[in-house]
Chains A and B, each alone.
Chain A
Amino acid sequence: MSIVYVEVENQIELISVVIDTPQTSPYLTKGHKVNVLFKEMEVAISTQKELDVSIENKISGSIANIEIGALMSRLILETNFGEVVAIISTMSVKQLGLVVKMKVKIMVKLNEIILAP
């Protein structure tokens, strides 16, 4: 098992845990390019800047678009490295009072990040 730090667009660092090690997967070397994948449904949103929570990846962004569904809603978030789509419950959108242009923290646990060499 390895914990991998991935630098994205020279700006932020994403952390992933994988079963592979540099011995089993030669791509796990410093400087090797990888794609980072995570599921839209696994993205959590917070309106608080600092949050004591065991979610390792926290990215700043702002809401570019909200599509409200009956149960779930789809948010497009602008970040320094491009757009991120988050699908969260409509309940949470209302509870947090999320609206377009609002600044938020986008959070993903490290075990949700897939690396694709």
Chain B
Amino acid sequence: MIRLNLKKTLKSIGGEMVLDLELNIAKGQFVTLFGESGAGKTSTLRMLSGLLKPDMGSITVDGRTWFDSNRNINLIPQQRKVGYVFQDYALFPNMTVRQNLEYALQKYQDNSIIQELLDFAQLSELQQRKPETLSGGQKQRVALARALVQRPEILILDEPLSALDLKMRIKLQEYLLQIHKKYKLTTILVSHDIGEIVKLSDCVFEIQNGKVIKKGTASDFFGLNKTSAKFRFSGEVLKIEKEDVIYVISVLIGNEIIKVVSDRTEANELKVGDQVLVASKAFNPIIQKI
């Protein structure tokens, strides 16, 4: 269990904001922090990982105190078992893939983890390459592997996939779930992509102006459980085509593209890239063995 109870006055371009929040995250959960830019999500994660010092409060992880302003405890980042992945990869450009991973090794740490991670991330063949020769998806796999070198218990993913194209994003979402399960991590994601959040997370916290304003399971949170329709998915609008008096809307759900016929009242409110809920009654679909 991660227990965060933090107060911090943050200065930004718009003035001051007081971050004041309490978060409890069960071990092994995949949670998402959701909210507008500047709401305090990244600052919260920086305080958890020890990169930013809270003004007041405490952080305990599995009963161990990482930070306590009253008792003057503040573990340095290296003592906290946290892996951190950023949107911009933050790889060392002058090092090869393998060297980027090796750089993260702690003193006296057994280096067999490097090969294990290279294999798991399917990076073995690329291990002598420099980051600049890799695609965005490959770079992010290197960054993820590097975050796991020190065998963290908590993995922080700060908009890790938002710079990638849709196809690569879907692929890496699967990969994030695999990592989460294989390494028994507690994972904290920052994302704005509702399809991604619903797919990956057990629980969502919405943060606004430095405070938690709402929490719930991903499908409750985004209202996906609010109709009696049982045949329902969330996805992303890929294409809207007018045909005759109707509209055909292509929606990416997981890695399948489905089509929904729609009247113009709904079609006019949609644009490519929108996150949508697709629902029908359980009575309608046909099911067949393949």
Contact = CB atoms under 8 A, between A and B. Distances in A.
A7 interface: no
B281 A112 contact: yes
Contacts of A114: 227-229, 279, 281
Interface stretch (A14-22, A55-63, A95-103): A14-22
Q: Output the residue of A17, A111, A114, A115 with the most chain B CB within 10 A.
A: A114
Contacts of A20: 228
B231 to A, nearest CB: 10
B64 interface: no
A2 B198 CA distance: 29
Given A40-B263, A85-B265, A19 B245 contact: no
A72 B245 contact: yes
Given A40-B263, A41-B246, A73-B245, 16 more contacts: A17-B283, A18-B281, A37-B227, A69-B244, A69-B246, A74-B246, A74-B263, A74-B264, A87-B246, A87-B263, A111-B283, A114-B227, A114-B229, A115-B227, A115-B228, A116-B228
16 contacts: A18-B228, A18-B281, A19-B282, A25-B228, A41-B261, A71-B244, A72-B245, A73-B245, A74-B245, A74-B264, A87-B245, A111-B283, A112-B281, A114-B279, A115-B228, A116-B228
B230 interface: yes
Chain B interface size band reads: 10 to 19
DSSP class of B's interface residues: helix, strand, loop or mixed? loop
A90 B244 CA distance: 11
Contact of B227 (A67, A85, A116): A116
Interface string B258-290: 000101110000000000000101111000000
Contacts of A112: 281, 284
A70 interface: yes
Contacts of A85: 263, 265
A59 B275 CA distance: 34
B11 interface: no
A41 to B, nearest CB: 6
B226 interface: yes
A50 B70 CA distance: 79
A30 B28 CA distance: 41
A69 B282 CA distance: 31
Contacts of A16: 228
Nearest to A67: B245
B233 to A, nearest CB: 15
A67 B261 CA distance: 17
Contacts of B265: 85
A103 to B, nearest CB: 22
A115 B284 CA distance: 15
A114 B277 CA distance: 14
Contact of B226 (A18, A72, A116): A116
Given A19-B282, A112-B281, A114-B281, A72 B246 contact: yes
Interface string A51-92: 000000000000000011111111000000000010100000
A67 B263 CA distance: 12
